[in-house]
A = this chain, B = another copy of it.
């Protein structure tokens, strides 16, 4: 399928690009948005720079002026992915009762919701090749996601073994569960809905409210 021959068929009318072959308007953001769309429809394997450029309506080499390479665009997409990831976790937590167990369960619900509804994006942000420490924006957004989890874990007494044991355990648990559910590997494919945290959560003892913990 020749993609470059249908160059000027964009999905949105060229509001930003005023009848001129150059200066799209906000090409950088448009590329990220189009990349996410293609990612959600064609998966991570079907994502190519040329396809993104064609969808936005620019030439195949246009993205090079906004991103250092394909990987840089993927990093920007991943950063956006982390933002909606954090938003879903926060929403899940806010829709729960103030009880610490419910708070944590709500956070995990948001986690799983992201993994389910944005499968390709979920795979992207946790894939090799996307080094979180390489890019400033990606480091920022991923840190915020971890921060939210850390805050929620702070509602409980820390483990006597290690101060970060709670975070690591919860994060591993929910991430592993999400991964195995999404990829449907090694688990019964009949769509189990049992959550492992319902088994693990009672073992966590809520912290004494020695201060005004209303975050």
Measured CB to CB, the residues of A under 8 A from B are 43-45, 119-120, 123, 125-129, 131-133, 142-143, 145-146, 159, 161-162, 164-165, 168-169, 171-177, 179-180, 182-189, 192, 194, 196, 198-200, 203
Contacts and interface: CB of A to CB of B under 8 A. Distances in A.
The residue in A162, A185, A187 that gathers the most chain B C-beta atoms within 10 A of its C-beta is A185
Nearest to A163: B194
- Copies of chain A in the complex: 2
Contact of A132 (B176, B182, B184, B192): B184
Contacts of A179: 126, 175-176, 179
B171 A186 contact: yes
Contact of A176 (B177, B192, B199): B177
A187 B169 CA distance: 12
21 contacts: A119-B128, A120-B128, A123-B127, A126-B183, A126-B185, A127-B183, A159-B199, A162-B194, A164-B192, A165-B196, A168-B187, A168-B192, A168-B196, A169-B196, A169-B199, A171-B180, A171-B186, A172-B196, A176-B176, A179-B179, A203-B203
A177 B168 contact: yes
A205 B167 CA distance: 23
B128 A199 contact: no
Contacts of A129: 43, 45
Nearest to A175: B176
Give the residue among A128, A129, A162, A200 with the most B Cβ atoms within 10 A.
A128
Contacts of A183: 126-128
Nearest to A138: B185
Contacts of A43: 128-129
A186 B182 CA distance: 20
A142 B186 CA distance: 6
Contacts of A189: 133
A165 B194 contact: yes
Given A128-B43, A198-B161, A199-B165, A177 B185 contact: no
A165 B119 CA distance: 24
